[in-house]
Amino acid sequence: MILIIDVGNTRAKAAVFEQDSVLEWFVFETKELSKKITELLVRFPKIHAIVVASVVHTPKEAFLDAANGVAVFFISRTDHFPFNNHYASPQTLGIDRMVLASGATLQFPGQNRLVIDAGTCITYDFIDAQDNYLGGAISPGLRLRYQALHQHTSQLPLLSLSDPDGFVGTTTDSSIHSGVVNGLVYEIDGFIAEYKALDSNFIIILTGGDTEFLAKRLKNTIFANSNFLLESLYQTFQYKIKND
């Protein structure tokens, strides 16, 4: 039994794997990490390894203390990945993006893949049909857009995510919802159109905390899976074990 943990900038996501199936999924605040690991190890005493990918500087000691002797594997940039990395600054590439690229490469062989992760930030990652990872884009996530508008102005309220009524905002609130939600939907559809213009043989994978909200609003056909990062992390770990 293996505990897989993805530590994002907003929340940590975890899954307990038995062979290749998931027994249970968990989501919690990143600051509750140590406490949660301790709880999960009590609930699932058969866990013999913990696999972690983190984009947050969480001290390794915190994991090791909570793991209480269970082996902890921190997936890092120096591990084996199933793609050729062409990012021009590989030393600064987010480990979450590498894991997503790895999952896309292994799960969808022989086609162009675009992975969109709608989390704290929106990340776009492009792996071509020959398994070359080429890069993509980073932009603010949905919640971050609402927060930024409020924090950097005097007059804009902090709103929570809600459906805009059309694209013409007629009040401050509806203008913000239109700008944030429609703006992001146009952005994603726009990027997808650019990638598809390169080659029609494309699979587009959408993941992250805003997957469900966004999936039904996009024009394009996509493969939506909120758990794609955790599944990819499990596969990246299996790939690492085989190739180390």
Ligand X SMILES: Nc1ncnc2c1ncn2[C@@H]1O[C@H](COP(=O)(O)OP(=O)(O)O)[C@@H](O)[C@H]1O
Ligand Y SMILES: CC(C)(COP(=O)(O)O)[C@@H](O)C(=O)NCCC(=O)O
Provide the annotated active-site residues.
96
Token pair 């293996």 in the structure block, residue: 2
Q: Are the C-beta atoms of 9 and 122 separated by less than 8 Å?
A: no
- Based on the shown chain and the rule CB under 6 A, indicate whether residue 125 belongs to the binding site for ligand Y: no
Is 96 annotated as a binding-site member? yes
Please name the residue that has the structure tokens 């940590």.
12
The burial class, CB within 10 Å (0-12 / 13-18 / 19+), for 244 is: exposed
Residues 148 and 207: their CA atoms lie apart, in Å, by: 22
The kind and range of the H/E element at 233 are helix 228-243
Select the residue interacting with ligand Y from 64, 93, 129, 203 (CB under 6 A): 93
Q: What is the phi-psi region of residue 68: left when phi exceeds 0, alpha when psi lies from -120 to 50, beta otherwise? A: left
Q: Is 119 in the site for ligand X (CB under 6 A)?
A: yes
Q: What number of helices (H) and strands (E) belong to the chain?
A: 8, 11
Instruction: Identify the residue among 2, 3, 4, 8 touching ligand Y (CB under 6 A).
Output: 8
SS3 content of the chain, % helix, strand, coil (to 5): 40, 25, 35
Q: Does 104 bind ligand Y (CB under 6 A)?
A: no
Other C-beta atoms lying within 10 Å of the C-beta of residue 213: 16
Contact status: 164 vs ligand X (CB under 6 A): no
Taking the complex as a whole, the smallest distance from the CB of residue 6 to ligand Y amounts, in Å, to 8
**CB 105, CB 127: distance < 8 Å:** yes
- Binder of residue 85, out of ligand X, K ion, ligand Y, none (CB less than 5 to 8 A by kind): none
Number of residues near ligand X (by CB under 6 A): 13
Does position 6 bind K ion by CB under 5 A? no
Q: Does 226 bind K ion (CB under 5 A)?
A: no
Tokens for 108, please give them. 């969808």
CA atoms within 13 A on the CB side of 7: 22
Q: Which residue, 99, 98, 94, 121, is CA-closest to 187?
A: 121
Is 11 annotated as belonging to a binding site? Answer: yes
Q: Is 7 annotated as a binding residue?
A: yes
The pattern of x and - marking residues 41 through 80 that bind ligand Y according to CB under 6 A reads --------------x-------------------------
Which of 128, 142 has the CB closer to ligand X? Answer: 142
Work out how close the CB of 237 gets to ligand Y at its nearest, in angstroms, rounded to a whole number: 18
**120 lies in the binding site for ligand X (CB under 6 A):** yes
CB of 67 to ligand X, least distance (A): 21
Contacting residue, 62, 161, 168, 193, with ligand X by CB under 6 A: 161
Contact residues toward K ion (CB under 5 A) are: 117, 119, 121, 123
Contact residues toward ligand Y (CB under 6 A) are: 8-9, 55, 92-94, 96-97, 117, 119-121, 123, 138
Q: Which residues belong to the annotated binding site for ATP?
A: 6-13, 120
